[in-house]
Chains A and B, each alone.
Chain A
Amino acid sequence: MRIPCPYCGERGNEEFTVLGAADPVRPAGDAPLGAWVDYVHQRENAHGPHRELWHHQGGCRTWLVVERDTRTHAVIAVRAARATEGTP
């Protein structure tokens, strides 16, 4: 699997670490318990396009949002995470 980093170009996935799903949004501190349980534990676990957070640890050290097809591992889109709302 190769990931095209917007800053470094296409690199093998051994240069990256993966955190997981990019879409869960951290609830407000006083949100009801159910919202927190959902955020911490429940996952869409998409069969198909899936947006996830990857860290280009062995390169520019940027956090990226990679959209990848979980059926084929084909990378659909990549962008820097800081340009996205709701990421850590």
Chain B
Amino acid sequence: MGHDMHYSVFSLLRNALAGNRLWTPAWRDPQPKPSYDTLVVGGGGHGLATAYYLAKEHGITDVAVLEKGYVGSGNVGRNTTIIRSNYLLPPNTHFYEKSLQLWEGLEQDINYNAMVSQRGVLNLFHSDAQRDAYARRGNAMRLAGVDAELLDAAAVRGMVPEIDMDNARFPVKGGLLQRRGGTVRHDAVAWGYARAADRRGVDILQHTEVTGIRVEAGRVIGVETTRGFIGAKRVGLAAAGNSGRVAAMAGLRLPIESHVLQAFVSEAIKPVIDTVVTFGAGHFYVSQSDKGGLVFGGDIDGYNSYAQRGSLPAMEDVMESAVALFPGFSRLRYLRQWGGVMDMSMDGSPIIDRTPIDGLFLNCGWCYGGFKATPASGWCFAHTIATGAPHPLNAGFRLDRFATGAVIDEKGAGAQANLH
């Protein structure tokens, strides 16, 4: 049956009857060719989506994705799976809304069950000033055609009865709800894009680390890897937390710091939260997985790190916030915890752009929110690589905005990577 098996109720039935012996690997494991038209560095969500849309939208199929580990070993398999498009500033609002629309059709498009669940994302507010700020963001979203609803306290209580609404320090006054937001099975996104790209002819090269970028007369001509030199006309960098290291191979310095973000899963319990809730007075957000575990997290630890693990004070901070909002959670045990390396940009917004080197393109700066961006990031990066120029949707995410002053600082925190 080869590698192009279409998943459907019939393939399920056939395998049910055949003792599941007919399944084939979801993608090939090819030998690298000496050269490709386009190389994508980094087999995370963004790199795989880029390869897929290069093939699907632009007919460029002579493509390889180079991944130093295995598909899903980076942040795409470490995040807390939340998707949303509830941004205030225009470049972000339009870009993330495009991403949400791509999520809405993704499973049919790539023939893969990614468990896209539009269960809503509810941002709680705790003061009059915060209500005004959230109302403003909601209004900006609605002006851009994005769904947003401002809920009062009674509506929040009805949606999530376990919340301690009358907390003495941080009473819940209401929330900004985006019903079309929700969660997506993160590993399935990596696997689904890898399989869909492979089916269109893209080579997925796992355990192939890029160790150098070869540039001649101002133009990229290929990359050095642990499996030898691979030539290319165009190279797109999508290395997330390792963006600075990879860009340095081409002599580029970035407005990026790498920081650790942690996440946590509790023991499985009966259904208690059927949406995503974010605490507005501390560092905590939570949803519940289909297995029953609470999936939760908070803020980055705050110091530069490539270690893929955090430290105890940040954990304690998240747990304190969790129990402040949901006192009942104090009885739960948490099962596991992990960290990922975030590419924190100096204004909190991403970069999808050309670079000063011909044929070399850059995708980075995703901070703690790049999972939701996966489809639009791949879609826009593919457009930028294929046409040599940004799409209007990523035209604001320029590398030179830090020099021109056109920064996109959603939080208004200034040029301080660990505050975004």
Is residue A1 contacting chain B, with contact meaning CB distance below 8 A? yes
Whether A42 and B253, one on each chain, are in contact in the complex, defined by CB atoms closer than 8 angstroms, is yes
Smallest CB gap from A50: residue in B: B304
Is residue A76 contacting chain B, with contact meaning CB distance below 8 A? no
Specify which of B255, B311, B402, B418 is in contact with A13 (CB 8 Å cutoff).
B311
Whether B244 and A14, one on each chain, are in contact in the complex, defined by CB atoms closer than 8 angstroms, is no
Whether B254 and A70, one on each chain, are in contact in the complex, defined by CB atoms closer than 8 angstroms, is no
Enumerate chain A residues within 8 angstroms of B255, measured Cβ to Cβ. 41-43
Assuming A18-B418, A41-B415, is B307 touching A72 (CB within 8 A)?
yes
Enumerate chain A residues within 8 angstroms of B338, measured Cβ to Cβ. none
- Identify which of residues 13-35 in chain A touch chain B, using a CB-to-CB cut-off of 8 Å: 13-14, 17-18, 20-21, 33-34
Is residue B302 contacting chain A, with contact meaning CB distance below 8 A? yes
Is residue B316 contacting chain A, with contact meaning CB distance below 8 A? yes
Is residue A12 contacting chain B, with contact meaning CB distance below 8 A? yes
Contact with A along B302-314 (1 / 0, CB 8 A): 1111110001110
Q: How many residues of A contact B (CB 8 A)?
A: 26
Q: How far is the CB of B66 from chain A (nearest CB, A)?
A: 19
Whether A73 and B417, one on each chain, are in contact in the complex, defined by CB atoms closer than 8 angstroms, is no
Enumerate chain A residues within 8 angstroms of B146, measured Cβ to Cβ. none
Smallest CB gap from A14: residue in B: B313
Enumerate chain A residues within 8 angstroms of B303, measured Cβ to Cβ. 1, 13, 18, 52, 68
Enumerate chain A residues within 8 angstroms of B254, measured Cβ to Cβ. 42-43, 45
CA separation between A71 and B307, bound complex, in Å? 5
Is residue B123 contacting chain A, with contact meaning CB distance below 8 A? no
Is residue B403 contacting chain A, with contact meaning CB distance below 8 A? yes
Please report the number of residue pairs spanning A and B whose Cβ atoms sit closer than 8 angstroms. 72
Secondary structure at the A interface, as helix, strand, loop or mixed, is: mixed
Contact with A along B245-283 (1 / 0, CB 8 A): 100000001111110000000000000000000000000
Is residue B416 contacting chain A, with contact meaning CB distance below 8 A? yes
CA separation between A8 and B307, bound complex, in Å? 27
CA separation between A70 and B418, bound complex, in Å? 15
CA separation between A13 and B32, bound complex, in Å? 45
Whether B346 and A20, one on each chain, are in contact in the complex, defined by CB atoms closer than 8 angstroms, is no
Contact with A along B356-380 (1 / 0, CB 8 A): 0000000000000000000000000
Enumerate chain A residues within 8 angstroms of B307, measured Cβ to Cβ. 70-73
Specify which of B256, B305, B346 is in contact with A73 (CB 8 Å cutoff).
B305
CA separation between A26 and B176, bound complex, in Å? 41
Assuming A37-B402, A70-B304, is B416 touching A20 (CB within 8 A)?
yes
**Chain A interface residues (CB < 8 Å from chain B):** 1, 12-14, 17-18, 20-21, 33-34, 37, 40-47, 50, 52, 68, 70-73
**Chain B interface residues (CB < 8 Å from chain A):** 244-245, 253-258, 302-307, 311-313, 316, 346, 402-403, 415-418
22 contacts between A and B (CB under 8 A): A1-B303, A1-B311, A18-B303, A18-B418, A20-B418, A21-B257, A21-B304, A37-B402, A40-B415, A41-B255, A41-B402, A42-B255, A43-B244, A45-B254, A47-B244, A47-B245, A47-B306, A52-B304, A70-B258, A70-B304, A70-B305, A72-B307
